[in-house]
Structure 1
């Protein structure tokens, strides 16, 4: 069985949001078209408590882009984003959600960030996503969403570690690109780990 995994298509990661991904909104129509080809769909949602440890505003004397230790690992500091029960944390209204089987929230622990939809960044807490997919007999995971060089990448890498045959729809993701070339570097890292990078046009042959 195959599953579509939609990662963090939320207002704060879209143009006009607190942590916007350039052209992030352009992937929404693509994702909606992709969803028509899947019977089993799940999604992840960044869902931070106020004053989360990954926010620069939570640390006196630090600014966005600074590096700190959080949860025992290196952490880049971000703008305040995807705070629980705020508009920025909501999925974009034009994103089709009716077919979704379940939403997995992440980043809920104030003391550690969580890019992956499977685990937090120090891999101590499990969202339950892998168990849920296994329970439903999923063998193949197809990933779309935001952002390619952070939450999408780490979700793909963890899907591979959990034993899923993992695909990424290249035309249904965009990158933060803090450094030029981060998108391409993320694609290469995922591919070298075993992910299959495809265009959504392959759906015609699934």
Structure 2
């Protein structure tokens, strides 16, 4: 990284339904990352983006939309086909209803300093497909949904992407991997995320999976974040 970098902060899905105490799909200690993220928001980013799951009531990932006995949230999974190419498929978990558009659970948590955000990107609106990444659905041949985030980042001249938010091992991971695929030098800031799976082993597994996809797990006190801080 050089002093001429242009860095973006992407805050993934820091929403009520992903946070205790009332979230339907709450990540343990999900709210606890807000102070770290608010401190990061004060740095001289080229772009500060928050993402939001924004599902229709009948989204395919909701266990409630499938018949028993294979419709148990967290336990059951389904195989989804690309609506325009049945040979391209994805297996995904089934979840409790969450982040339904217009519901309190879809709102960004009040602890997040939204006054510093430049953009809010909504995702997951197509009921036919799962969408963890803030860039696009996993289907590529053809692509089904793109949010336009990659285009926005490139128009701003962004070179480096820093990811935080929820959940580390699902939407943060998918967003970071897609950022790297789009050509951005990409990192996940460990202290700014919480995963569904937590603990040292979960951290090691996630860091390795990110590394295999050209994404680095870094510390908020590490040299990568320091380079952004030095742009002040």
TM-score by length of 2: 0.84
Task: Say if 2:166 and 2:172, in contact at 8 Å, map to a contact too.
Answer: yes
Other-structure match for 1:152? 172
SS in 2 for 1:27: helix
Question: Unaligned 5+ residue runs, structure 1?
Answer: none
Mapped to 2, the partners of 1:165 and 1:180 lie a distance apart of 25
Shift of 1:82: 0.4
Shift of 1:182: 3.8
1:125-136 pair list within 5 angstroms: 125-136=145-156
Of 77, 81, 86 in structure 2, the residue corresponding to residue 67 of structure 1 is 77
Task: Say if 1:159 and 1:166, in contact at 8 Å, map to a contact too.
Answer: yes
Task: Say if 1:153 and 1:190, in contact at 8 Å, map to a contact too.
Answer: yes
Task: Say if 1:54 and 1:70, in contact at 8 Å, map to a contact too.
Answer: no
CA offsets, 1:147-196, max 9 Å, x none? 01000000011001000000111011010129994443122111232212
Mapped to 2, the partners of 1:14 and 1:147 lie a distance apart of 10
Aligned pair 1:108/2:108, yes or no?
Answer: no
Mapped to 1, the partners of 2:174 and 2:92 lie a distance apart of 14
Higher gyration radius (CA): 2
Other-structure match for 1:56? 63
Shift of 1:77: 0.3
Question: Unaligned 5+ residue runs, structure 2?
Answer: 1-5, 82-88
Other-structure match for 2:104? 87
Mapped to 2, the partners of 1:10 and 1:116 lie a distance apart of 15
Of 6, 18, 26 in structure 2, the residue corresponding to residue 13 of structure 1 is 18
Mapped to 2, the partners of 1:36 and 1:113 lie a distance apart of 32
Mapped to 2, the partners of 1:57 and 1:180 lie a distance apart of 33
CA 26–178 in structure 1, closer or farther in 2 if over 3 Å, else same: closer
Mapped to 2, the partners of 1:84 and 1:116 lie a distance apart of 17
Shift of 1:81: 0.3
Other-structure match for 1:35? 41
Of 99, 116, 140 in structure 1, the residue corresponding to residue 160 of structure 2 is 140
Of 186, 189, 196 in structure 1, the residue corresponding to residue 209 of structure 2 is 189
Task: Say if 1:106 and 1:120, in contact at 8 Å, map to a contact too.
Answer: no
CA offsets, 1:39-96, max 9 Å, x none? 3201111000002100000111111120111233212100100000101000001101
- How big is the alpha-carbon RMSD for the aligned residues of Structure 1 and Structure 2? 1.7
CA 58–182 in structure 1, closer or farther in 2 if over 3 Å, else same: farther
Mapped to 2, the partners of 1:35 and 1:156 lie a distance apart of 18
1:190-205 pair list within 5 angstroms: 190-202=210-222, 203-205=225-227
